[in-house]
Chain A
Amino acid sequence: MKTKVITAAISDEQLILSIKGGNREAFGELYNRYYKKVYHKCLSFTKNPDEAFDYAQESLMKAFDHLETFRGHASFSTWLYTITHHHCLAGLKKNSRLSTTALNEQFIEADRNQTSITLEETSQRTEQETIMFKLIDRLPENEKQLLTLKYQEGESIENLQEKMGLNSSAVKMRLKRSKEKLNALYMLALTYGVEQVLEMVEMF
């Protein structure tokens, strides 16, 4: 039986087309490109190798067992890392290991690490950001304002309290709810397409 040789030059999207056509070698090639990165993303959340392995195993299983749901609206890596990100967050929240403070720290850490982001990650973030800002733009005005002030303008919780006439707990709770809503919308956008989800934003 002749074995096709898959080279690194073939794009992820071409591999997926090949996988959907029944090519198992393409499946192996795609998996091998990402499993280590997924593990290290999980490790950055959990700080525990054993737990990171569990999350990585489950995230990879989720993604690779459902490749047929990948629509190609975002890059494959963005899709995969989003599944990983959400799986880790959900798992850590379930184990009560993630508080709102910790979520904020994740964003702060991400900002600090900006200088070490590779070209590949930069283009992923651009794509992610484009989808994210489209979704933010459709949110109700008060939610949009809160998220923009906090994450685009970099306003502190104290300043937001003053600007919005709310106490600290109220600001933090609204931020938490808006982020959770945005995360859910983002996942839907990756699965069904941004345009379809934009029409549904009012329902959330």
Chain B
Amino acid sequence: MLMAKKILFPFSVDTPYYEGYSWAVELASKMEAELWLFTASKDKTEETVQQIFHSLLEAQGHYLQLSANKPAKVKIKTERWIETGSLKNALLTFLKSNSVDITILDSSLLMDKQSESEVIDFSRGAIVLSSKKEMTTEYESQFYKKLQEAELYKLPDNFYATLGNDHSLFNYLRNFFKRATD
């Protein structure tokens, strides 16, 4: 069975990507996969690189804040890829030469449909997140609601099996059915 071991999250520091980042971290945590964080900038000066790292640390803070009451977080490994030029072109070049199991496209990227299709074509699997803001404050419910609303493409066989083993999914579904019968 093909195991999803590398998840790619492209982002731009000029856009509000923290929600998408938090979701990607949570998915990587549940799948015990490596998270590759990909961006492109006009240059790679010390100042630009510093700005990107500051932004990623701030995004991590957002994730930690959202998941503050969640017990036993699985520590995940991240790799950062900082390329120069346009994000879309750099991303396509990257996908052509690197093997990534799932690419997560956050709504903050504001990709047009054609660009989105190209990225999906060059990815082994892809998840396109919806821009809809989740109203629930319960952390695990937020994750599964966002998954429910996402568009899923060519996901590996073990994706559903792995999530199916996650206890928090059971709790989410149990609460869902409880609300439906109340």
Q: How far is the CB of A32 from chain B (nearest CB, A)?
A: 6
Residues of B within 8 A of A (CB): 46, 49-50, 53-54, 56-58, 60-62, 64-66, 68-69, 73, 75, 78, 80
Q: Does A50 sit at the interface, judged by CB under 8 A?
A: yes
Q: Does A36 sit at the interface, judged by CB under 8 A?
A: yes
Q: How far is the CB of B72 from chain A (nearest CB, A)?
A: 10
* Residues of the A chain whose Cβ atoms lie less than 8 Å from the Cβ of B60: 35, 57, 60-61
A31, B65: Cβ atoms under 8 Å?
Answer: yes
> From residue 68 to 112 of chain A, which have CB atoms closer than 8 A to chain B?
none
* Residues of the A chain whose Cβ atoms lie less than 8 Å from the Cβ of B78: 57
Q: How far is the CB of B104 from chain A (nearest CB, A)?
A: 19
A49, B49: Cβ atoms under 8 Å?
Answer: yes
* Residues of the A chain whose Cβ atoms lie less than 8 Å from the Cβ of B58: 32, 35
* Residues of the B chain whose Cβ atoms lie less than 8 Å from the Cβ of A192: none
For A28, the closest partner residue in chain B by CB is B65
Q: How far is the CB of B42 from chain A (nearest CB, A)?
A: 17
Q: Can you offer 11 A-B residue contacts whose CB atoms are under 8 A? A: A27-B65, A27-B68, A28-B61, A31-B65, A36-B54, A39-B54, A49-B50, A53-B53, A56-B57, A57-B57, A60-B61
* Residues of the A chain whose Cβ atoms lie less than 8 Å from the Cβ of B46: 49
| Cα distance A36–B61 in the bound complex, in angstroms | 11
Instruction: Beyond A57-B57, A60-B60, A61-B75, list 18 extra A-B contacts (CB 8 Å).
Output: A22-B69, A24-B66, A24-B68, A28-B61, A28-B62, A28-B65, A31-B61, A35-B54, A36-B54, A36-B57, A39-B57, A49-B49, A49-B50, A49-B53, A53-B56, A56-B53, A60-B57, A61-B64
For B58, the closest partner residue in chain A by CB is A35
| Cα distance A185–B62 in the bound complex, in angstroms | 33
Write out, one digit per residue, whether chain A residues 184-202 have a CB within 8 A of any chain B CB (1) or not (0): 0000000000000000000
What 6 A-B pairs are tightest by C-beta distance, nearest first?
A31-B61, A35-B57, A28-B65, A53-B53, A27-B65, A64-B64
Q: How far is the CB of B133 from chain A (nearest CB, A)?
A: 13
For B63, the closest partner residue in chain A by CB is A61
| Cα distance A38–B58 in the bound complex, in angstroms | 12
A31, B54: Cβ atoms under 8 Å?
Answer: no
Q: Does A120 sit at the interface, judged by CB under 8 A?
A: no
Q: Does A141 sit at the interface, judged by CB under 8 A?
A: no
For B46, the closest partner residue in chain A by CB is A49
Q: How far is the CB of A157 from chain B (nearest CB, A)?
A: 36
**Do A39 and B53 contact each other (CB < 8 Å), given the known contacts A22-B69, A24-B68, A61-B75?**
yes
Write out, one digit per residue, whether chain A residues 11-45 have a CB within 8 A of any chain B CB (1) or not (0): 00000000100101001100110011011000000
**Do A53 and B57 contact each other (CB < 8 Å), given the known contacts A28-B62, A61-B75, A65-B73?**
yes
For B70, the closest partner residue in chain A by CB is A65
A31, B64: Cβ atoms under 8 Å?
Answer: yes
* Residues of the B chain whose Cβ atoms lie less than 8 Å from the Cβ of A64: 61, 64
* Residues of the A chain whose Cβ atoms lie less than 8 Å from the Cβ of B49: 49
| Cα distance A64–B60 in the bound complex, in angstroms | 11
* Residues of the B chain whose Cβ atoms lie less than 8 Å from the Cβ of A60: 57, 60-61, 64
* Residues of the B chain whose Cβ atoms lie less than 8 Å from the Cβ of A57: 56-57, 60, 78
For B53, the closest partner residue in chain A by CB is A53
* Residues of the B chain whose Cβ atoms lie less than 8 Å from the Cβ of A24: 65-66, 68
For A53, the closest partner residue in chain B by CB is B53
* Residues of the B chain whose Cβ atoms lie less than 8 Å from the Cβ of A36: 54, 57
For B78, the closest partner residue in chain A by CB is A57
